[in-house]
Amino acid sequence: MQFENSREFAQKLDQQDPLGSYRDQFIFPKVNNKQVIYFTGNSLGLQPKVTSKYIDEVMNDWAALAVEGHFYADKPWWDYHERLAKPLSKIVGAKTSEITVMNTLTVNLHLLMVSFYRPKGKRYKIICEEKAFPSDQYMLQSQVRFHGYDPDDAIVEIKKRKGEHNFRIEDILSTISSVGETCALVLIGGVNYYTGQVFDIKTITKAGHEIGAFVGWDLAHGAGNVQLELHDWNVDFAAWCSYKYMNSGPGNASGCYIHERFHNKKDIPRFEGWWGTEKESRFLMKPEFTPMSNADAWQLSNASILSLAPYLASLELFDEVGMETLIQKRNLIVAYLEYILHKIDAEVDSTFEIITPSIQRERGTQLSVFLHGEGKRLFDYLMKNGVITDWREPNVIRLAPAPFYCSFEDMYDFGQILKQGIKNKN
């Protein structure tokens, strides 16, 4: 498509957008009494208007039924989490039985490592990417120390080449091969939070299995953003948060995927609680644990229903639209944003470097932009003028035009505000 940097062209794209009507189903903050241009769906998605209905339903059931809401609410609380499994299975490419929702992301990664990080003998090392999201780094370091190893020895980081912003697949595969039989686990973020690079999950998972390691993925920036086929790619386990691209609210519940080959196993290492025991006998209070025959065996406690309600509200929007349609819009709007950035760069005395890969299969919704010569002053100007984005040191802004609620006209308006911000400095 031949793009144009004009309001008329952007409005034409919006008129042709099959997701255009969904914009009105989300609540936008305002700056200077004007609806913002929201680029931070990769940190916290906007609130769907329907969310309050789902929360009110739980509150009303609690008021009217009290404890009986566990079994007699319209959506009984004792199996509320099961309603999320089917729509989530479509989003991440899994069987419904391989999905559960519980806790928060880092908590779930710790719990999953009980099952999938089993160091023994010479096989004790973990492979991850350098400068992984800090929470993942802390989690991995604490896990290897818990097992009696030195993180400097047990954690092997895949490196970027000097002067490059992104990882090369050949370097990832080379690292996995070189660590070889000393590797117990490969655990990588499916989409790099800083650059927005999407990893080749299928190829990396296969390489990890070939050396005899488990392979898991932190999909905080992947779920609801990129195409995933976790079951077919033979991924062992994965976890993700729900408040970024899936709009479930701050700090909300985390989704988990565990491949079906690990189900129905009583002897698998696993921290257990009563919500993971078989549903039919859960309230008989038997002393022995009989695991559920699906991913729910990893559940510990009864679910936080007030967290699940907003998640279910958003997932029903995803179910209406489908990932294929979201990804089609994503590809087009990100390409248009990239075009706008290059056009503005050519019009002003400045230099932007987009450090997110330009190849479509290696990126999702996010473009990370290095603002050479600009600094945080420009970021502050954008924020004061209604462009909500985020800043990452040393000099990067991340722009994530979530396809559910961002418009092509937003991209045009952002370009004009960006240009004015640079001109004001000059």
CATH code 3.90.1150.10 region(s) in the chain: 7-49+322-425
**126-159: per-residue pLDDT in tens?**
999 998 899 999 999 999 999 999 999 999 999 9
CATH 1.10.10.10 fits 53-321, yes or no: no
Residue given tokens 């936080």 in the structure block: 304
Q: What's the average model confidence in pLDDT over 186-212?
A: 98
Judge whether residue 237 has pLDDT over 70.
yes
pLDDT score recorded for residue 88 = 98
pLDDT tens for 248-273 read 999 999 999 999 999 998 889 999 99
> What is the per-residue pLDDT for 190?
97
pLDDT at 426 > cutoff 70:
no
Q: What is the pLDDT of residue 306?
A: 97
Q: What is the mean pLDDT of residues 68-77?
A: 96
> Which part of the chain is CATH 3.40.640.10?
53-321
CATH superfamily of 7-49+322-425: Aspartate Aminotransferase, domain 1 (3.90.1150.10)
